[in-house]
């Protein structure tokens, strides 16, 4: 599969632009659509102490109008064009995106430039969105079985610094104490054009899109961008353990967390961990599915993967290898961990078979291509990869690079997942706990 070439533009105010044209969709008779995203280099690892959840809260505020558009205008203009939109907050970035008919490209660019220039930061908007975020936390974490498992619950066990260990969704007290002045300072610090990547993907003309980018973003004022701090911290030197009582969980669960190689500086080693995770739990033929679900039923669900947020290559260093399992009460957690360790030891000794590697890489490549058939997924992956790795082309290279991962590299990855430097989190059903949140 030959990927269309990418085009890049950097505006005088520092905004980086990635243009990924694909006219095949329109030529094949499909509706011509275009994706537009803006990735800002700020996630919940960047939020200040005492303001947990602030990056996510600010994402909400960016949809509350601007100095030139009233509240809900963004929604109305995108949906009125037949498009969809959303945003999301991650460890190291926050993204905003929309997918629209190609004829509405200028409308999307105007809307993104408008809120990059001056979102409407008012006390009314802030208080309203604090309440919205608190309700989101109630629905997605506090009143849901296994809420925050493992992405909120595991980091405080594995990591020691505030940036890496704190709850990115936010503490209610911290959210309630946020001020409009905090919001203005956060915007000035992190939402500068030079701290963002604009991505346009789909059926569009490069020259016309470039002209529109200059028209709408060229006069967004430049602001100084602080050097991005390192969030590195020493590797664990002992086993770390934690227990969480979940009043809504029907069954016990366990999460194992290991530090991963640097996704940017040690990419080949990181990719070996992606293959390792798939060998362990991807599909019915995977090792842990066979061992722990079919042969010796220890768990009702088991999953391994790279990245706390459910996707690999979604963060800079430090990143996390997670393995989660839900088991019945009569199965001791130690038996689950012992089964995992046995398979890791076997893989460390001999590596996966050629058949396992072929199956895993074929499934992985097919999944990636299927995802990138969706304009929204391709747009977002291009933007995040450009931001984190500096090379959006990497997403097209991944199937080949994953296929080049050999048995010895996977064996080395398995050997590195030592029990002596991992975090173990146990989730215990607790029917005596007070259910939900006030």
DSSP 67-97: SSS-TTHHHHHHHHTT-EEEEEE-SS-EEEE
The CB density around residue 300, as the number of other CB atoms within 10 Å, is 15
Same domain for 259 and 404? yes
**Domain check: are 268 and 193 in the same one?**
no
Domain boundary among 155, 182, 217: 217
- Residues 174, 34 share a domain: yes
Q: What is the mean pLDDT of residues 164-178?
A: 96
Q: Which domain holds residue 363?
A: 240-429
Claim to verify: residue 177 and residue 98 sit in the same structural domain: yes
d(CA 293, CA 300): 7
Whether residues 167 and 265 share a domain: the answer is no
Residues 194 and 292 in one domain: no
pLDDT band at 23 (very low <50, low <70, confident <90, very high): confident
pLDDT at 31: 78
Determine the pLDDT at residue 430.
82
267 and 138 in a common domain: no
Span 112-135, mean pLDDT? 97
pLDDT per residue over 271-298, tens digit each? 999 999 999 999 999 999 999 999 999 9
The string of pLDDT tens digits covering residues 140-157 is: 999 999 999 999 999 999
- pLDDT tens digits for range 236-250: 999 999 999 999 999
Q: Does residue 38 form part of some domain? A: yes
CATH code for the domain of 39: 3.30.830.10
230 inside domain: no
Residues 135 and 253 in one domain: no
* Shared domain check, 149 and 280: no
Q: Is residue 71 part of a domain?
A: yes
Average model confidence (pLDDT) across the chain: 94
Counting residues of the chain whose pLDDT is more than 70, the rounded percentage is 96
Same domain, 14 and 156: yes
User: Is the domain of 122 the same as that of 264?
Assistant: no
pLDDT tens-digit map of 37-90:
999 999 999 999 999 999 999 999 999 999 889 988 999 999 999 999 999 999
Residue 232 lies in a domain: no
Residue 150: what pLDDT?
96
Least confident of 145-149, 299-303, 370-374: 370-374
In a domain, 225, yes or no: no
Residue 284: partners with Cβ closer than 8 Å, 6 or more residues away: 290, 294
For residue 2, what pLDDT is reported?
53
Widest CA span in the chain: 65
30/121 same-domain check: yes
Domain count, the chain: 2
Confidence of residue 436 (pLDDT cuts 50, 70, 90): very low
Ramachandran angles phi, psi of 381, nearest 5°: -70, -40
Is 268 part of any domain? yes
Residue 81 lies in a domain: yes
Any idea which residue has 């608190």 for tokens? 134
**Structural domain includes residue 351:** yes
The predicted pLDDT at position 1 comes to 45
């Amino acid at each position: 599969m030959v990927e269309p070439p990418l085009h890049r533009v950097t505006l005088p105010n520092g905004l980086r632009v990635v243009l990924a044209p694909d006219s095949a969709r329109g030529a094949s008779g499909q509706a011509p659509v275009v994706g537009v995203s803006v990735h800002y280099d700020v996630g919940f690892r960047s939020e200040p102490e005492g303001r947990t959840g602030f990056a996510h809260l600010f994402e909400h505020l960016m949809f509350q109008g601007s100095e030139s558009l009233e509240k809900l205008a963004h929604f109305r203009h995108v949906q009125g064009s037949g498009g969809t939109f959303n945003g999301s907050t991650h460890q190291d970035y926050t993204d905003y995106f929309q997918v629209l008919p190609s004829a509405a490209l200028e409308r999307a660019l105007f809307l993104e430039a408008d809120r990059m220039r001056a979102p409407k930061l008012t006390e009314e908007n802030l208080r309203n969105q604090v309440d919205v975020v608190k309700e989101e936390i109630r629905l997605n974490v506090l009143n849901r079985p296994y809420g925050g498992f493992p992405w909120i619950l595991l980091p405080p066990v594995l990591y020691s610094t505030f940036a890496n260990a704190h709850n990115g969704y936010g503490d209610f007290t911290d959210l309630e104490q946020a001020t409009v002045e905090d919001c203005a300072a956060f915007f000035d610090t992190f939402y500068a054009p030079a701290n963002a990547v604009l991505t346009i993907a789909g059926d569009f003309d490069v020259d016309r899109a470039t002209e529109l980018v200059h028209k709408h973003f060229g006069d967004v004022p430049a602001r100084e961008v602080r050097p991005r701090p390192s969030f590195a911290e020493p590797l664990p030197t002992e086993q770390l353990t934690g227990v969480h009582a979940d009043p809504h969980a029907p069954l016990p669960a366990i999460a194992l967390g290991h530090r991963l190689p640097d996704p940017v500086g040690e990419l080949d080693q990181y990719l070996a961990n992606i293959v390792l995770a798939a060998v362990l739990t991807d599909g019915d033929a995977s090792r842990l599915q066979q061992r722990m679900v079919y042969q010796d039923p220890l768990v009702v669900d088991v999953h391994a993967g790279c990245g706390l947020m459910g996707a690999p290559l979604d963060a800079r260093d430090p990143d996390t290898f997670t393995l989660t399992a839900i088991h019945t009460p009569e199965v001791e957690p130690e038996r689950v961990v012992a089964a995992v360790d046995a398979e890791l030891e076997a893989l460390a000794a001999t590596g996966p078979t050629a058949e396992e590697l072929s199956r895993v890489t074929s499934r992985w490549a097919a999944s990636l291509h299927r995802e990138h058939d969706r304009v929204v997924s391709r747009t977002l992956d291009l933007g995040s990869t450009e931001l984190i790795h500096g090379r959006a082309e990497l997403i097209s290279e991944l199937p080949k690079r994953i296929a080049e991962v050999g048995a010895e590299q996977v064996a080395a990855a398995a050997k590195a997942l030592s029990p002596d430097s991992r975090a173990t989190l146990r989730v215990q059903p607790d029917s005596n706990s007070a259910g939900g949140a006030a």
